[in-house]
Amino acid sequence: MTDLWEHGGMHRVVVVGAGFAGLSAARALIGQPVDVTVVDQRNFHTFQPLLYEVATAGLESGDVAYPIRVIFGKADNVSFRMAAVTGVDWERREVILAEDHRLPFDSLVVASGATARFFGIPGASEHSFPLYTLTDARRLRDHILRRLEDVDSHPEGAGARGALTFVVVGGGPTGVEVAGALAELLDVAVEHDGFAFDREAGRIILVDALDRLLTPFEESAADYAARTLSGRGIELRLGHLVRAVRDDAVELDDGTVIPTRTVVWAGGVTVEGTVAGDIGAPTGQNGRLLVGPDLTVEGHDDVYAVGDAAAVPWGGGEDADKVCPQVAQVAIQSGAHAARQILARVAERPTEPFHYKDKGIMATIGRRAAITQFRSGRVLRGTLGWLAWLGLHLVYLVGFRNKIVVFVNWSWRYLSWGSGPRIIVGEESVASDDGEPLASG
């Protein structure tokens, strides 16, 4: 642990954000001749690819959260600061924290991520549940479980008021994963938890503006996903825009009104409204920070933007100008690249351009059904795709303990569905049906 005011002339790096990108940058700087401070408003890293499992009561919160201090506890040159970042003072080269506390820097890595994008659809931000933070996931879980309790206690008119209708907006990987996991949760609730309603009373509707699922995947993979979801009873409404979200219904562009108390928002992300917008640097589409080939922010030699917050250029040959997708692999690779460029400059070497190494993409649709698509376009699907997905996610889960616990949770669930953390942690004493997200934290 090094106090910043005692840095003794060491090059000071501030990393804003401890998601995949920020962690990757800070880890690459452990033991290097720089003083690093990681700033995040939360004291834990969130393994975002599995948030949908928390939201559907398959995993505990703690299974996908890892304390940041534990990661850097033994690194003498990396410290952690739990604080919200409000801006950057470019004159004094300081990151501004809440209550005007300051963190001076020589190099800055902006890895502040993104947030849900509602496209200005009326009611969407008020009445739907995004799935980007652990709090989002836990609020959604509490809400879903409360709906089940509510229907069990008050079955009269449950269908008409949409109490058991779950609408998922967005047919990308997150939407497909949530829809698949919701179907499994309903199966389990009826089979094992003694709920009185019929499984058929539960409806899951997946809406997307495009007429196919999983755009980044090959057509055949998308078809497989559509068939699998339909086979599990999920209704697909492809080629439809959401016109409005109300507390008791969703309206589509063809005038359809779907009564529902639960709209899961997996419709995309934006950097607008996040810290990246407050630092006063040029931004592009969706508010992503514009960066050069070496990932430095325009006009700032010593400021890097990485991960979801940045419009990371693909680099390399023919794809050099393409912008990378906002996925974990890009975050991890761009974070590490920024760290290497900082070290290069400290050593007075020139920086190098980023080049994304595409390792393929994955999406899971539920129990024993997933898609793994390699860069070649080759697609693994079904049980094999699912095992590949499972293995990769276990390997990437930060922390050995988490791997064991997640493995135990999953094994147990797949063996029996007997347990699983189907607990409502929000402290509202009565199952309410007012459509309001309940406070849960």
**From the DSSP assignment, how many helices (H) and strands (E) are in the chain?**
11, 25
Active-site entry in 53, 60, 177, 251: 177
Contacting residues for 337 by C-beta, under 8 A, at least 6 apart? 294, 295, 306, 354
Pick between residue 225 and residue 406 the one whose CB is nearest to its own copies. Answer: 406
Question: Could you tell me the two tokens for 372?
Answer: 């793994």
User: x/- site string to its own copies, residues 81 to 110, per CB under 8 A?
Assistant: xxxx------------xxx-x---------
Strand 11-16 relative to strand 107-110: parallel, antiparallel, unpaired? parallel
Residue 44 is a binding residue for its own copies (CB under 8 A):
yes
Cβ distance 108 to 114 under 8 Å?
no
Residue 187 is a binding residue for its own copies (CB under 8 A):
no
Residue 399 is a binding residue for its own copies (CB under 8 A):
yes
Region of 9 on the Ramachandran plot (φ > 0 left; ψ -120 to 50 alpha; else beta)? left
Residue 256 is a binding residue for its own copies (CB under 8 A):
no
Q: Which of 7, 10, 30, 62 binds its own copies (CB under 8 A)?
A: 62
Instruction: Please report how close the Cβ of residue 111 comes to its own copies at its closest, in angstroms.
Output: 17
Residue 26 is a binding residue for its own copies (CB under 8 A):
no
Question: Could you tell me the two tokens for 423?
Answer: 């607990």
DSSP symbol at 6: G
Pick between residue 36 and residue 362 the one whose CB is nearest to its own copies. Answer: 36
Residue 401 is a binding residue for its own copies (CB under 8 A):
yes
Q: Which stretch binds its own copies (CB under 8 A): 9-17, 115-123, 311-319, 405-413?
A: 405-413
DSSP reduced 3-state for 172: coil
Residue 77 is a binding residue for its own copies (CB under 8 A):
no
Q: Which stretch binds its own copies (CB under 8 A): 214-222, 341-349, 371-379, 394-402?
A: 394-402
Cβ distance 106 to 94 under 8 Å?
no
Q: Which of 8, 255, 317, 418 binds its own copies (CB under 8 A)?
A: 418
Pick between residue 42 and residue 243 the one whose CB is nearest to its own copies. Answer: 42
Rg, Å, the chain Cα set: 22
Pick between residue 13 and residue 205 the one whose CB is nearest to its own copies. Answer: 13
Q: Which stretch binds its own copies (CB under 8 A): 133-141, 282-290, 294-302, 353-361?
A: 133-141
Question: Could you tell me the two tokens for 435?
Answer: 């459509």
Pick between residue 10 and residue 425 the one whose CB is nearest to its own copies. Answer: 425
Cβ distance 371 to 216 under 8 Å?
no
Residue 153 is a binding residue for its own copies (CB under 8 A):
yes
Residue 5 is a binding residue for its own copies (CB under 8 A):
no
DSSP reduced 3-state for 96: strand
Amino acid, single-letter form, for residue 417: W
Contacting residues for 232 by C-beta, under 8 A, at least 6 apart? 180, 183, 365, 366
Strand 11-16 relative to strand 34-40: parallel, antiparallel, unpaired? parallel
DSSP symbol at 93: T
Pick between residue 113 and residue 171 the one whose CB is nearest to its own copies. Answer: 113
Q: Which of 87, 293, 316, 426 binds its own copies (CB under 8 A)?
A: 426
Tell me the backbone φ, ψ of residue 129, rounded to 5 degrees: -110, 105
DSSP symbol at 378: -
Instruction: Please report how close the Cβ of residue 330 comes to its own copies at its closest, in angstroms.
Output: 25
- Annotation marks residue 177 as catalytic: yes
Cβ distance 144 to 175 under 8 Å?
no
Interacting residues with its own copies between 313 and 372 (CB under 8 A): none
Residues that bind its own copies (CB under 8 A): 1, 3, 41-44, 60-62, 65-67, 69-70, 72-75, 78-84, 97-99, 101, 134-135, 138, 145, 149, 152-153, 189, 192-196, 399-402, 404-405, 408-409, 412, 418-427, 429-431, 439-441
Q: Show which residues are catalytic.
A: 177
